[in-house]
Amino acid sequence: ILHYPIPFKEMIQLEDIPNLANLVASFDQQQLANFCRILSVTISELDTGNDDKHTLLAKNAQQKKSAGPSLAEINQVTLLNIPGFIERLCKLATRKVSETTGTSNFLQELEEWYAWLDHALVLDTLMHIATEEADQSSSTESADESVLAASQLRSRLPQSMKIMHEIMYKVEVLYVLCVLLMGRQRNQEISLKIQFLRLLQSFSDHHENRYLLLNSQELNELGAISLKANIPEVEAVVNTDRALICDGKKGLLTRLLQVMKREPAESSFRFWQARAVESFLRGVTSYADQMFLLKRGLLEHILFCIIDSECKSRDVLQSYFDLLGELMKFNIDAFKRFNKYVNTDEKFQIFLNQINSSLVDSNMLVRCIVLSLDRFESQTDAVKVAEVISQCCLLSYVSRVENRLSFLFRLINIIQVQTLTQENVSCLNTSLVILMLARRKGKLPFYLNALQEKELCEKYPGFLLNNFHSLLRFWQEHYLNKDKDSTCLENSSCISFSYWKETVSLLLCPDRTAPCAIISYIDEVYMNIDKDFSED
């Protein structure tokens, strides 16, 4: 098994391997680490390399054709059914390097490097001579001796190289753990740092155990924040097993924030760092979690990267926009901090330019701002809220109807059913959030009429609303059978999924006299709502 070529032309089906559980149980830690190199291929989804097949429409069609699990998913189940397998991986991944490699002083290490370099210079020559002797002699004794000598030289590695060797094995183990934790992953080579960040991301995402990333003092700090704000302490914080939390002066999450701030502007690790921190905040919004991160200067760091650092990477910017959205959502203190940092028209204009340059990347932040504004406006102290909104440039900007309509128009216009992917489908959901909030205030017909007027102004009547109608039909097909997706929509918006469904049904109502139906705002001559968007 350990000698299969990588990559495979056809994926191995692990359940077909006789006695797999016993075989794995017989592996020592070194063999298990080697075995993980093969497993990383067998449990990863194959990448076809065809971008067209990554659209949500194509994925839905493929799922209808193949209702059963993929071979990679079957292999994952096979591994999970091996007794003690996950426990052994965790022990291997967390084993200290010193447990297997020992320590050496500087002079000893230097001497080992000199010796290894000397041996490395003659190693190829020695192997060449051994091969020639094996070919020319009927006796293999001298060849065997030469090969044995070469093997011994190979084993005489410097201590630091042995340590690196051990670390690289951990990469394979971490990858397997990440795939099993996160589900379907594409086959790719990923560095140890990124694997670790992805492990943090999967550990934190929607999981109550994410508070194990903090130490005892930091958990107490979360409790103090809740007490000061006169809100109940998060149940997951109360239930966290303190015997398992981080030790030391700072927890793992705080250390990650420190690394983020030191990361060079052009570093690709910024994307994964932001994703790992965002996963800690994702789900039901926690004021205490937000304030914990705000106190550590996270908002100012994000704004510096967006406004001042001249970051050009779209992936990094998207990760920062998403993180900023989770950090600020429903948190009036965060908006005040934003206004304190973005204290000039020039800074605010740069920020808006970054948002408008790619709404696919920034739409989750737009959604956060719109939802937060609606939450603030619904609070009892209307005078205080109005004062805060007027003093915050961001809230003031989004409070103007013409700006919300501008976002809505562009969000609908940049996507079509045929081009929807997991990356841009959020634009459709953000446009729905804007319309759901309008519906709450009885202004849904006003918004639909404004979209119709925008079409006429652009001299393309019907093009936007026909497209939106098709998108919503797809939305029904895509979301109504997916519990996880609906839960994510509820958690991110604090709007019940039933209200999402009701709003979509109203918009798709076939009655041309209904004030909230899209077809009421499309002239019959331009109507094209019955177009079949299914993909073969």
Residue 224 neighbours by CB under 8 Å, 6+ apart: none
246 three-state secondary structure: strand
Domain extent listing, the chain:
1-46+71-94+161-185, 193-296
Q: Give 351 or 13, the one with higher predicted confidence.
A: 351
Over the chain, what is the mean pLDDT? 81
28-85 pLDDT, tens digit per residue, is: 888 888 888 888 888 877 655 455 446 877 777 776 766 677 888 888 888 888 888 8
45 three-state secondary structure: strand
Packing angle between helix 444-458 and helix 463-479, nearest 10 degrees? 130
Q: Is the pLDDT of residue 389 over 70?
A: yes
90-103 pLDDT, tens digit per residue, is: 778 777 655 444 44
Residue 516 neighbours by CB under 8 Å, 6+ apart: 439, 444, 445, 448, 506, 507, 509
311-364 pLDDT, tens digit per residue, is: 788 889 999 999 999 999 999 999 999 999 999 999 999 999 999 998 999 999
Indicate the pLDDT class of residue 303, thresholds 50, 70 and 90: very high
* CA separation for the pair 317, 306 (Å, rounded): 7
Please count the residues of the chain.
536
* CA separation for the pair 287, 232 (Å, rounded): 10
Bridge partners of 525, per DSSP, are: none
Average pLDDT over residues 293-297: 97
139-169 pLDDT, tens digit per residue, is: 444 445 544 544 454 455 555 556 656 666 7
CB neighbours (10 Å) of residue 26? 10
186 three-state secondary structure: strand
Q: What is the per-residue pLDDT for 181? A: 64
Q: What is the per-residue pLDDT for 367? A: 97
Indicate the pLDDT class of residue 193, thresholds 50, 70 and 90: low
For 292, the token pair is 């914990």
Packing angle between helix 425-440 and helix 497-507, nearest 10 degrees? 90
Give the lowest-confidence range in 41-50, 125-134, 381-390, 454-463. Answer: 125-134
Spatial contact of 55 and 142, defined as CB atoms under 8 Å apart: no
Q: What is the per-residue pLDDT for 246? A: 87
507-521 pLDDT, tens digit per residue, is: 999 999 999 999 999
Average pLDDT over residues 172-180: 77
215 three-state secondary structure: strand
9 three-state secondary structure: coil
The terminus-to-terminus CA distance of the chain in angstroms comes to 39
* CA separation for the pair 461, 13 (Å, rounded): 54
Residue type, 529: I
State pTM to two decimals: 0.70
